[in-house]
Amino acid sequence: MIFRSPIHVLGVGSLGKLFAHSLRKCYPALPITLLFHRPSLLEEWKQAGQAIEVVRDGKSEKLDGFEYEGINDGKGEIRNLICATKTYGTVPAMEPLKHRLGPSSSILFLQNGIGTIDEVNSQIFKQASLRPHYFAGIVNHGVYQTAPFTCVHASVVDVTIGPILDKGINNQPASPLIESILGCSILAGSLVTSEGLFYIQMKKLVINAIINPLSAIFDVQNGQVFDSPTISALIKPLAAEISAVIQAIIQYKGLTPTADVATLFTVEGLEAVVRQIGVKVAKNSSSMRQDMRNGRRTEIDYINAYIVTQGRSLGIDCPLNSKLVGLVRDKRLLAESEAV
Ligand code: KPL
């Protein structure tokens, strides 16, 4: 039997639950600890019978045997951490765990948007030599939550994982965390280089930067972003700003994309990708629209605001992206004041 190193899961939203459940199913003896960052989670966990339920193809499967602790309560080193919190919740959730994480730890970030790792570095692990090894995963599985510890694995797809280029080191040492995830057939993981990961992250960023704010501001399903002449007229000018920023980042990082990758990041390439994905997710409500409708904070700061900030530091103006950031923030403020 292969010895597998214990895994902690921070953030038990739909992705955290899917990963914990899949790993438990693939490795029944693997110690998996759920880290609760809200006191109410403990109560919900008890009500759920201390088990995670996943519904797939209409069949429900409840798995138990997880360990759990509040983020302020645990002790001991954390070797392997899956971080599936919302982008803006990452630093506050990780702060109480920082003394348990170090250079022999690996963290896999599973998040929409980009920029969290810069915040973790500047606010938590300031000294580069003491940082854990960072990986990020782009999850293509479709999963949504129906109760605090129940989720539906609606589309079984895959996850792409790659090391984050940090400390100037490109080749991370093999990580037991990543090996366990790659060996778990349900998650269907594949490993790419940090450069490959960066391109995939940028592609996802473009999709989220166009579909999410437009669907949230106009309060429409994803498909309407492409079907409505008024909304779809904004796709090309947005793609133009984002293409300029991504190309500048590629140049700044000294990357050498293949011809196919370079074509993907042209205005026409980005427009085509967004439209292609738009057809697949036409019937969905974007995560930003759902956040807005449920009065939750959106991830705009890690999507369009990230593009605006990166653009600014590279001398590229992004007025349309800036406008969308302002509109999403204003709409949320309005919803908050109406709720008072
Ligand atoms: O990732 C998404 C999101 O909503 O965050 C898309 C692809 C837009 C699907 O809804």
Determine if ligand 1 sits within 6 Å of the CB of residue 180.
no
> Which of 15, 231, 287 to mutate for ligand 1's pocket (most ligand atoms within 8 Å of CB)?
287
Determine if ligand 1 sits within 6 Å of the CB of residue 87.
no
Which value does ipTM take for this structure? 0.98
Each residue of 236-261: pLDDT tens digit?
999 999 999 999 999 999 999 999 99
Q: Whose CA is nearest to atom 6 of ligand 1?
A: 286
Rounded to the nearest angstrom, the distance between the alpha carbon of 122 and the centre of ligand 1 is: 28
Each residue of 61-72: pLDDT tens digit?
999 999 999 999
Checking if the pLDDT of 292 tops 90, the result is: yes
C-alpha 96 chain-centroid distance: 21
Determine if ligand 1 sits within 6 Å of the CB of residue 207.
yes
Q: Return all residues near 101 (Cβ < 8 A) that are at least 6 apart.
A: 77, 78, 81, 94, 107, 125, 132
Rounded to two decimals, what is the model's pTM? 0.92
Q: Whose CA is nearest to atom 4 of ligand 1?
A: 286
Q: Whose CA is nearest to atom 1 of ligand 1?
A: 208
* Closest C-alpha to 211, from 197, 232, 237, 230: 232
Checking if the pLDDT of 41 tops 90, the result is: yes
Determine if ligand 1 sits within 6 Å of the CB of residue 284.
yes
Model confidence at 322, pLDDT cuts 50, 70, 90, reads: very high
Determine if ligand 1 sits within 6 Å of the CB of residue 287.
yes
189-191 vs 67-70, strand pairing mode: unpaired
How far separated are the first and last CA of the chain, in Å rounded? 57
> Which of 87, 226, 277, 284 to mutate for ligand 1's pocket (most ligand atoms within 8 Å of CB)?
284
